[in-house]
């Protein structure tokens, strides 16, 4: 006999408790525990039923992960690691209105164009609304089926009937199953529905995209386990007021997690931006102090970004250090190095750092760029607008080599930069490069001699 048991589950983090609590002991959220009934089938614990399966020698296992479905949207495919792997589950999160539905509709339309059948299930919009969106972005998709449905059982029924190669569920929070009595969108429902859809993907080889809402603090709403269950987690991000959107992989079992795809939201849908450096640099003030261009690696691709520094007199006891797009701790470290090695004073200065275009860069190779930007603003001496700077800064003021120097230099050359200041160690690796001119520096000292 199945017996019903009641547990209380935190809607914020998925913590479970046998009794109700006013505050979740795990995440500290108030009033977030909600009653959920769980039905325990005797003997249902311990995984799936079926004949036991003997382990196989790893050499004997055939793995066809190279079989990837390409949508033809370069930016999208690259973030997935070169296309969608058969039977993989991809979770896409992002703020409301950022363009998740638009992106997936465009992607599956491109996939299904003269290709395999794709099914787009929307729990938020009617079929007519999806059609209106498709018309707006002028999609011609011969093999794309749309379904407006929120019941998991009926979705599964349709999937069995249609046998799509790719399935999109927009969004997982709207889907509910009658197996659990709790309300749609609750943690129990989200977990149950997604695990059913994910195991369906694994068993039948259907590539599955799940759209997930995000909470106020930016995490995908629902249990954290959701991110562990899927193969790939993507975030679609963008600044309000900017039309640029960045698709970022934060987990990928079949590819790099450093890849980003850049899109621009236009009147007629998302347009791929294949040369983001040009866009990010398009409004750069030439000859302004504190502005510096840095070739930063985003995954396998170098992107030139403009870092702006502003150093002003402070009237606060604790001067301000405001950083947008770079790590505040890293900037504190660079300021300390500049104080110690170059005798600059920042105790009475506010320092603001901003990466233009709403991008964020996290690798240490941007250190040198930040340092010369700060110095340029503090001394009010503009930098040569045709030079890019790259290098990691050590505490002794030494400039350390960076990875993928050749790709960075090539990107700078492609965009017409004449000079690249880089670590001496990297300069030695690239004796053959003619354009742009390479200037190797081993320490801040050497760099300052050239610049200021």
Paired strand residues for 21 = none
Q: Which stretch binds ligand TYD (CB under 6 A): 82-90, 130-138, 174-182, 432-440?
A: 130-138
CB of 86 to Mg ion, least distance (A): 25
Tokens representing residue 287 in the block: 């000859």
- Of the two residues 101 and 232, which places its CB atom closer to Mg ion in the complex? 101
Question: By three-state DSSP, how is residue 35 classified?
Answer: strand
| In the complex, minimum distance from the CB of residue 173 to Mg ion, in angstroms, rounded to a whole number | 11
- Helix or strand or coil: residue 219? coil
Residue ranges in 208-365 assigned as alpha helix (H):
225-229, 276-281, 328-342
Q: Which of residues 98 and 402 has its CB atom nearest to ligand TYD in the complex? A: 98
Specify the residue, 107 or 422, whose C-beta has the smaller distance to ligand TYD: 107
What is the rounded CA–CA span in Å between residue 402 and residue 441?
A: 13
In 3D, which of 245, 279, 249 has the Cα closest to residue 263? 245
Is 268 an interacting residue with respect to ligand TYD (CB under 6 A)? yes
Distance CA 122, CA 146 (A): 8
Q: Does 416 bind ligand TYD (CB under 6 A)?
A: no
> Is residue 321 part of the contact set for ligand TYD (CB under 6 A)?
no
What minimum distance in Å lies between the beta carbon of 223 and Mg ion?
A: 21
Helices (H), 21-151: 74-79, 100-112, 127-136
Q: Of 31-39, 99-107, 174-182, 375-383, which part binds ligand TYD (CB under 6 A)?
A: 99-107
Q: Cα(100)–Cα(235) distance, rounded to whole angstroms?
A: 9
The nearer residue to Mg ion, 234 or 412, going by C-beta atoms, is: 234
Retrieve residue 411's tokens. 């990107």
Instruction: Answer yes or no whether residue 165 interacts with ligand TYD by CB under 6 A.
Output: no
358 touches ligand TYD by CB under 6 A: no
Residue 264 binding ligand TYD, by CB under 6 A: no
Q: Considering the complex, state which of residue 127 and residue 327 has its C-beta at the smaller distance from ligand TYD.
A: 127
> Residue 78: left if φ>0, alpha if ψ -120 to 50, beta else—which one?
alpha
C-alpha to C-alpha distance for 105 and 89, rounded to whole angstroms: 17
Name the minimum Å distance from CB 207 to ligand TYD. Answer: 19
Residue 24 in contact with ligand TYD, rule: CB under 6 A: no
- Residue 127 to residue 124: CA distance in whole angstroms: 10
Q: Which does 302 bind (CB under 5 to 8 A by kind): Mg ion, ligand TYD, none?
A: none
Could you tell me where the DSSP H helices lie in 235-342? 276-281, 328-342
> What values do phi and psi take at 277, rounded to 5?
-55, -45
Among 101, 165, 189, 194, binds ligand TYD (CB under 6 A): 101
269 binds, among Mg ion, ligand TYD, none (CB under 5 to 8 A by kind): ligand TYD
Q: Does 173 bind Mg ion (CB under 5 A)?
A: no
Residue 174 belongs to what H/E stretch? none
Tell me how far, at minimum, the Cβ of 272 lies from ligand TYD, in Å. 14
**Can residue 218 be called a binding residue for ligand TYD (CB under 6 A)?**
no
101 binds Mg ion (CB under 5 A): yes
Q: Does 291 bind Mg ion (CB under 5 A)?
A: no
| Binder of residue 396, out of ligand TYD, Mg ion, none (CB less than 5 to 8 A by kind) | none
Residue 249 · residue 79 · CB < 8 Å? yes
Residues in contact with Mg ion, total (CB under 5 A)?
Answer: 1
CA distances from 292 to 106, 161, 231, 397 (A): 36, 57, 38, 19
User: Of 79-98, which residues contact ligand TYD (CB under 6 A)?
Assistant: 94, 96-98
Considering the complex, state which of residue 103 and residue 374 has its C-beta at the smaller distance from Mg ion: 103
Stretch that binds ligand TYD, among 100-108, 182-190, 246-254, 345-353 (CB under 6 A): 100-108
| Closer of 101 and 186 to Mg ion (Cβ) | 101
Q: Near Mg ion by CB under 5 A, which window of 98-106, 108-116, 141-149, 266-274?
A: 98-106
Task: Output the six-digit token pair for 279.
Answer: 């866009």
Region from 38-46, 133-141, 317-325, 431-439 binding ligand TYD, contact rule CB under 6 A: 133-141
Order of strands, sheet of 3-10, starting from the edge strand that comes earlier in the sequence: 16-17, 3-10, 33-40
Tell me, what DSSP letter sits at residue 60?
G
Nearest to 208 by CA among 85, 109, 68: 85
State which residue has the least CB distance to Mg ion.
101
For residues 275 and 149, give the distance between their C-alpha atoms in angstroms, rounded to a whole number: 38
Q: How far is the CB of 266 from ligand TYD (least distance, A)?
A: 6
Contact 71, 77 (CB under 8 A): yes
> Interface residues with ligand TYD (CB under 6 A)?
94, 96-102, 133, 136-137, 265, 267-269
Q: Please report, as ranges, the residues that interact with Mg ion according to CB under 5 A.
A: 101
């Amino acid at each position: 006999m199945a017996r019903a048991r009641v547990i209380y589950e935190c809607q914020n983090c998925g913590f479970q408790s046998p009794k109700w609590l006013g505050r979740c002991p795990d995440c500290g959220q108030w009033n977030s525990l909600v009653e959920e009934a769980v039905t325990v089938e005797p003997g249902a614990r311990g995984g799936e039923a079926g004949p036991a399966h003997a382990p196989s020698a790893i050499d004997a296992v055939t793995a066809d992960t190279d079989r990837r479905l390409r949508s033809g949207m370069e930016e999208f495919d690259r973030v997935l690691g070169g296309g969608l792997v058969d039977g993989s589950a991809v979770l896409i999160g992002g703020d409301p209105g950022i363009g998740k539905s638009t992106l997936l509709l465009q992607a599956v339309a491109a996939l299904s164009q003269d290709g395999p059948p794709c099914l787009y299930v929307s729990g938020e919009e009617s079929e007519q609304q999806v059609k209106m969106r498709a018309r707006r972005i002028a999609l011609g998709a011969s093999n794309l089926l749309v379904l407006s449905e929120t019941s998991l059982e009926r979705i599964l029924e349709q999937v069995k009937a249609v046998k799509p190669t790719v399935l999109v569920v927009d969004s997982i929070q709207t889907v509910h199953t009658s197996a659990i009595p709790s309300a749609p969108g609750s943690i129990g429902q989200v977990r149950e529905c997604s695990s059913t859809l994910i195991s369906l993907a694994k068993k039948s080889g259907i590539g599955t995209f799940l759209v997930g809402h995000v909470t106020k603090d930016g995490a995908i709403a629902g249990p954290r386990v959701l991110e562990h269950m899927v193969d790939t987690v993507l975030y679609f991000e963008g600044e309000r007021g900017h039309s640029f959107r960045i698709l970022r992989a934060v987990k990928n079992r079949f590819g790099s997690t450093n890849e980003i795809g850049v899109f621009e939201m236009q009147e007629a849908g998302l347009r791929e931006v294949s040369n983001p450096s040009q866009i990010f640099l398009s409004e750069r003030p030439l000859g302004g102090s504190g502005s510096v261009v840095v070739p930063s690696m985003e995954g396998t691709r170098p992107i030139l970004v403009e870092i702006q520094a502003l150093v002003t007199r402070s009237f606060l006891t604790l001067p301000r250090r405001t950083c947008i797009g770079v790590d505040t701790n890293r900037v504190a470290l660079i300021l300390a190095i500049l104080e110690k090695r170059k005798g600059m004073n920042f105790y009475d200065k506010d320092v603001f750092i901003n990466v233009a275009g709403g991008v964020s860069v996290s690798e240490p190779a941007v250190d040198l760029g930040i340092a010369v930007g700060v110095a340029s603003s503090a001394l009010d001496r503009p930098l040569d607008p045709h030079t890019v700077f790259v290098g990691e800064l050590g505490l002794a003021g030494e400039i350390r080599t960076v990875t993928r120097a050749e790709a960075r230099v090539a990107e700078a050359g492609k965009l017409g930069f004449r000079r690249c200041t880089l670590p001496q160690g990297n300069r030695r690796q690239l004796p053959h490069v003619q354009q742009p001119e390479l200037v190797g520096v081993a320490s801040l000292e050497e760099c300052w001699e050239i610049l200021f």
